Amino acid sequence: MVHGGDIYRNCISLDYSVNINPLGIPASVEAALREAVSLCSRYPDIRQEKLKAAIAEMDKVSADEILCGNGASELFPAILHALKPKKILIPVPSFYGYEWAAGTEACEVSYFPLREQDNFVLGEDFIAALDKETELIYLASPNNPTGQLIPPEILKGILKRCQELDIIVVVDECFLPFCEEAGFYEEMEAGMKCGNLIQVRAFTKTFAIPGVRLGYLICRNREVCQKIARQLPEWNLSVFAQMAGCAAAKETEFIGESRKLIKEQRSILTKELISLGFRVYPSRADYILFYTELPLYELLLKKQILIRNCENYRGLSKGYYRIAVRGQAENERLISALREVTEK
């Protein structure tokens, strides 16, 4: 299993393997999904006009710079199908979906190892590794599973260098809304006006609707945007996804509440993990990466708790685990279970 969330083949009462907003689905989004049932006899809007307008208002971009997908996972391979890069560079460890997307095209994939002693943070050496042969790079900010944001000056340097070398930069920002620094990064990226930058985001994590499947990308290069659009099915978004997205895009207060809760609970979980003797890596996201020699995945599975075993991430090994940041009651239950298995 290369992803978390495999509740279908395990008896699970508490899932810490997926990183979903602990506040759950906003009431307005639930209402929109219920209303969508009555519209199932119609085709969804093929142009997705209301949804794109709502996203444009939320992210302060132009609607014609937006493409929507059946989750971000539909957009990653669509980008490659459209641009057909011959060589891709991916820092690791990172989300497996980029590697999966690369496998859908006949391209060479190189991996840039992030150093454990640097807490897996992207640095100047990555900029130095960029060359004329590289045509596209996949980045994540914050990265999954490390939870690390790309330092602003490093991201600026990457974007500048990639403009010089004509390299497409795909930045996965699916977890950025959970970060207090989100506004700063959005303003910085918009200010640079990079035609080679593609930002990929999703409603999945922010609004706790992974079952709805709704992602989108922002690309200021209209020609590139149109090429990617040609790789997407005509009706790739259901009425459920479109109506849920329109409602979610208005939930600015909900995002603020989510950030506050996640910051508070992430701090508590981090301290508890450290107190149990685990090696914990700093995170700005709604998940935490840590290391222990205990067979923690199996021990917690016996208690019907599912965490993410990260040994199959390229660049990691046995002993690395990732847990989500959830609400206080659930986190207390997890901490109690962790104490029990470590004491034994």
Residue 25 pLDDT class (50, 70, 90 cuts) = very high
Q: Tell me the backbone φ, ψ of residue 210, rounded to 5 degrees.
A: -60, -30
Average pLDDT over residues 108-126: 97
| Predicted local confidence at residue 1, as pLDDT | 47
Residue among 291, 285, 297 at smallest CA distance from 20? 285
| Predicted local confidence at residue 10, as pLDDT | 72
Residue 303: what residue type? K
Domain ranges within the chain, ordered by starting residue = 14-24+252-343, 27-248
Radius of gyration of the chain (CA): 20
Average pLDDT over residues 286-304: 96
Could you give the CA distance from residue 28 to residue 48 in angstroms, rounded to a whole number?
19
Could you give the CA distance from residue 250 to residue 244 in angstroms, rounded to a whole number?
10
Token readout for 262 is: 């996640």
Residue 12 pLDDT class (50, 70, 90 cuts) = confident
pLDDT tens for residues 149-186?
999 999 999 999 999 999 999 999 999 999 999 999 99
Domain 14-24+252-343 sits in CATH 3.40.50.20: no
Average pLDDT over residues 309-326: 97
pTM as predicted: 0.95
The distance from CA 70 to its chain's CA centroid, rounded to whole angstroms, is: 14
Q: Is the pLDDT of residue 308 over 50?
A: yes
Could you give the CA distance from residue 255 to residue 45 in angstroms, rounded to a whole number?
27
Topology of the domain comprising 27-248: Aspartate Aminotransferase; domain 2 (3.40.640)
pLDDT tens for residues 243-286?
999 999 999 999 999 999 999 999 999 999 999 999 999 999 99
Could you give the CA distance from residue 197 to residue 136 in angstroms, rounded to a whole number?
10
Could you give the CA distance from residue 150 to residue 284 in angstroms, rounded to a whole number?
11
- The single residue listed with the structure tokens 């279970």 is 337
